[in-house]
Amino acid sequence: MREKGIIFDLDGTLWSTSAQIVPAWNEVLLRKGLPLITVEQMNSFMGKTPDMIASMMLPDIAHEKAMRVFAECVVEEDRYLERHGGVLYQGIEEALSALKKRFFLAIVSNCNEEYLDIFLDYHGMRRYFDDCETYGRTHKQKHDNIRLVIERNSLVSAVYVGDTELDQQSAEKAGIPFIWASYGFGKDIAAEHILQSISELPDTITHVL
């Protein structure tokens, strides 16, 4: 059974950090005299690549400068999360513990490596996952990283679990089924398989893989 894999998105699927990290980002923006952001804006950034986030956050300044500001925000964000962690979705450990007995588990996220390490180490999640990949390490698009994980682990079949339209598109481009985590940040996504909570995944997965 372990040749079958479940690959997870991170933000909006396994945990949430948006409300926690807005103050850290706003410290950077305030120092630079730039417009502050809201939790709603942060929610819209989740799952995007750094290029996309920088453009969304600071559309009126040069992209290179916006990227430098974004990088500073990420440093402050990681410092906060290293001390406080994020918010795990209810039922995550029970679901992952049950799934790991039957499936290969991995994470593919558009975050940086440090951010993923905080999730894995602060919350004791590393024991559940067999592999992980990030945009921050490969600088590849999410569908490419999904295929990378599938190929290097010789998975016969896999499914991607995520919460945004970009996640759905990435699964389609990677040629695997998609399960929508509707409790996350994405809205009104037309998906065949839908989770109201991560606790439902052990039952839902039997209809997909």
Residue pLDDT, tens place only, 119-139: 999 999 999 999 999 999 999
Q: What is the pLDDT along the chain (209 residues), one digit of tens a residue?
A: 469 999 999 999 999 999 999 999 999 999 999 999 999 999 999 988 899 999 999 999 999 999 999 999 999 999 999 999 999 999 999 999 999 999 999 999 999 999 999 999 999 999 999 999 999 999 999 999 999 999 999 999 999 999 999 999 999 999 999 999 999 999 999 999 999 999 999 999 999 99
Query: Taking the C-alpha atoms of 174, 180, 181 and 186 in order, what is their torsion angle to the nearest 10 degrees?
Result: 90
Q: What is the pLDDT of residue 1?
A: 47
In sequence order, the β-bridge partners of residue 60 are none
Residue 110 · residue 48 · CB < 8 Å: yes
In sequence order, the β-bridge partners of residue 105 are 6
Rounded to whole angstroms, how far apart are CA atoms 50 and 46?
Answer: 10
Q: What is the pLDDT of residue 2?
A: 66
Q: Residue 15: left (phi > 0), alpha (psi -120 to 50), or beta?
A: beta
| Phi, psi at 153, each rounded to 5° | -105, 5
Which residues, 6 or more positions from 73, have their beta carbon under 8 angstroms from its beta carbon?
24, 25, 28, 29
CA quadruple 177, 182, 185, 186: dihedral positive or negative?
A: positive
Q: What is the pLDDT of residue 52?
A: 94
Q: What is the pLDDT of residue 47?
A: 83
pTM of the model: 0.93
